[in-house]
Structure 1
Amino acid sequence: MDQTRIEKLREALALTNERNAARERKLANLIYIASAIALLGVAGVAINKSGIFINITTSMPVGFYESQALPGTITPGMTVLLCPPSQEASPAIKQAIKDNWLIKSNNTPCKNHLVPFLKNIAAVPGQKISIKMSGIYVDGSKLSKTKIQPVAKNGEAIVHYPLGTYTVKPGQVWVWDNSSKWAYDSRYWGPIPVGNLIALASPVLTW
């Protein structure tokens, strides 16, 4: 067998091995996802000991994320895992619980059995937040895709935070996401206590 044919066989074998490895990685991911969903039922995240968790909610891209300890200073743009406000503190959350818009689980650190959200930090103490029907404005700059949706898919009026301009108070943050026009964030339920933040989150594999 000449050298050229040997090299082609080696290349074909390497390509086959690479494809097999990719299939094995995909299978492992699917097994983890299935296990996580089976473990959680309808819950949105499953965190293993290494800090890797899966997000199956629509609040951020579906996939695997890594949790990290919160830093001493929270800054805009950070992606965080957080507990939503309690229904006692937020009329919007009360409505969302009543209408089953939020995922629940018996295995959650959050009040009202709500599953934690992934959100981006929009504003921190001292910054100005304006809530308008056209969206969220931070220090005068609009955040993309934050228009308030006044009516839900079922035709019900959606409770949103009172329109106006606010200064973020110490011990609070405002959060947002622009995953879809139905994203559910501080434009509806307002600021949240810093104590509701659980961890920083960074994507590992999303789709």
Structure 2
Amino acid sequence: MTQRGIFLFLAGAGGVIAGLAAIAYMGGYRVNLTPSEPLGLWRIVALQRPVEAGDLVFICPPVTASFEEARRRGYVRRGLCPRGFAPLIKTVAALPGQHVEIGANVTVDGRPLPSSIVRTSDGEGRPITPFKTGIVPLRNLFLHSSFASSYDSRYFGPVPDTGLLGLAQPVLTFKP
């Protein structure tokens, strides 16, 4: 094969891959490369009902100083949400009006939240400040991941539900 033939083949293959990726993206498919949930292909499914505690959701983080710092530290990746954040995949642990208490672990309305140890430093030894205890405000969600080192509402607090993209449905995932 000539150099021109190889170039045309690679350009065509690249175009096909880019086209398939665009179609998948428009269909709500996303690739998760973070350890907070299983790695692999996920799909954003539109909510046909109000969000409930226990729902696994895709949500765009709010544009705040704490999320800017989280991106600088590598807790949050780049993506297509406002300000270039990647959407988070998290479980809704508490809804508006529920009381969240953060100590050594998290409790919601007095019930312990499983796998919710609160750390005082990240994996590189940098201090990380837990969110303060309180009531989840209206139009906000308290998010959680059972992954011990997850950056979730234990540290950034409740987030506005306006960033909610939909339910997170695993399509082809695996745990390393």
Q: Which residue is 2:84 aligned to?
A: 113
Aligned partners of 1:72, 1:184: CA distance in 2, in Å? 27
Aligned partners of 2:154, 2:48: CA distance in 1, in Å? 25
CA apart distance, 1:47: 4.6
Tell me, yes or no, if the aligned pair for 2:102 and 2:130 is still in contact at 8 Å: no
Q: Deviations over 1:73-125 (max 9, x none)?
A: 1100101001123224xx3x2431232332114xx0x2331111100001111
Q: Normalised by the size of structure 1, how large is the TM-score?
A: 0.68
Letter in 2 for 1:111: P
Question: Is 1:150 matched up with 2:120?
Answer: yes
Q: Are the structure 2 counterparts of residues 47 and 185 from structure 1 closer, same or farther at C-alpha, using a change threshold of 3 Å?
A: farther
CA RMSD in angstroms, aligned pairs only? 2.2
Q: Are the structure 2 counterparts of residues 204 and 97 from structure 1 closer, same or farther at C-alpha, using a change threshold of 3 Å?
A: closer
Q: Deviations over 1:114-167 (max 9, x none)?
A: 1111000011112221111x22211111111111111122221113212x2x22
Question: Is 1:167 matched up with 2:135?
Answer: yes
Q: Are the structure 2 counterparts of residues 47 and 174 from structure 1 closer, same or farther at C-alpha, using a change threshold of 3 Å?
A: farther
Aligned partners of 1:197, 1:47: CA distance in 2, in Å? 19
> Which has the larger Rg?
1
Q: Normalised by the size of structure 2, how large is the TM-score?
A: 0.79
Tell me whether 62-71 or 121-130 shows the greater mean CA deviation: 62-71
Letter in 2 for 1:170: L
Question: Is 1:59 matched up with 2:36?
Answer: yes
The partner residue of 1:139 within 109, 115, 122 is: 109
How many pairs are equivalent? 156
Q: Structure 1: which 5+ runs fail to align? A: 1-34, 40-45
The higher-RCO structure (CA 8 Å, 6+ apart) is 2
Tell me, yes or no, if the aligned pair for 1:51 and 1:68 is still in contact at 8 Å: yes
Letter in 2 for 1:145: S
Tell me, yes or no, if the aligned pair for 1:47 and 1:54 is still in contact at 8 Å: no
Q: Structure 2: which 5+ runs fail to align? A: 1-16
Q: Are the structure 2 counterparts of residues 95 and 50 from structure 1 closer, same or farther at C-alpha, using a change threshold of 3 Å?
A: closer
Q: Which residue is 2:144 aligned to?
A: 176
Matches within 5 A, 1:32-71: 47-71=24-48
Letter in 1 for 2:73: D
Tell me, yes or no, if the aligned pair for 2:75 and 2:151 is still in contact at 8 Å: no
Q: Which residue is 2:12 aligned to?
A: none
> Percent of pairs identical after alignment?
30
Tell me, yes or no, if the aligned pair for 1:95 and 1:159 is still in contact at 8 Å: no
